[in-house]
Amino acid sequence: MYSTPFSPREARAARARMGLTTSQVAQSMAACGVPVHPDLIAAWEQGSHLPSETHLFALADVLWCPATALMGIEPRTLAEHRLARQLSVERLADRIGMDPAAYRAAEAAHRWDGDIRQTRALVEALGLSLRRLVSIMGRDEELAGLLRTAIEGRWKAYVTPVAEIVVVDETSVGDALRTMHTEFAGFAERYMGHLMARNDDSRLKEVAAERSAFLHRLVDHFWELIGEVGDEPPPRGF
């Protein structure tokens, strides 16, 4: 059963910074259309109860702090990134053009199957990058494995599997894989060239080191070729 992340200590601190009593916070939340009893606010701060998403959003507004401050964590899951942006499932689903039930199922399963348009809308709404979304879904290692196999063999066979993970059009993925395959093959050509020319071992070690560095940055290089941008921090205040 999913529960809203919440830090009683941060909630108490945020209220103290505003110089408000629990009654004043309750009054302000009611003015926002979210009525709540002061005793419930006290229970949140004591850790005996957890606020709902609606309560969390309203409390963040009243205390003039980002939802992440009250959550007390850095967002790690799709649901937590949504909460950080103070978006309900229904509101986010409407924004990305997806049925709310389907989106809720994606959060619960920790697996994203949206199309390219929905995915672009999702990362924009949550201030993420496609790369970060892949990481949130726990598919980093799978992507790295496919990239390694693709550049070492027949890269065309891996265009579709990679595109399904990163949710980028197959033309862009194919261009990136072809470039990486060509670059990787260059190391073998240079190595054999030095070997046939009977150059000293330092030349061979140099090529081997460059090849190792290339493989180490394989995923980074892929996203660079795709032209992926970084994440955006959640807005501070709404």
What is the tens place of the pLDDT at every residue in 75-92? 999 999 999 999 999 999
State yes or no: pLDDT of 103 exceeds 80.
yes
State yes or no: pLDDT of 237 exceeds 70.
no
Of the given ranges (20-34, 59-73, 184-198, 224-238), which has the lowest mean pLDDT? 224-238
Picking from 99, 159, 163, 111, the residue whose alpha carbon sits closest to that of residue 138 is: 111
Q: What is the pLDDT of residue 98?
A: 96
Q: What is the pLDDT of residue 119?
A: 95
Picking from 50, 106, 48, 115, the residue whose alpha carbon sits closest to that of residue 82 is: 106
State yes or no: pLDDT of 201 exceeds 90.
no
128, 85 contact by CB (below 8 A): no
71, 7 contact by CB (below 8 A): yes
- With cut-offs at 50, 70 and 90, classify the pLDDT of residue 235: very low
State yes or no: pLDDT of 37 exceeds 90.
yes
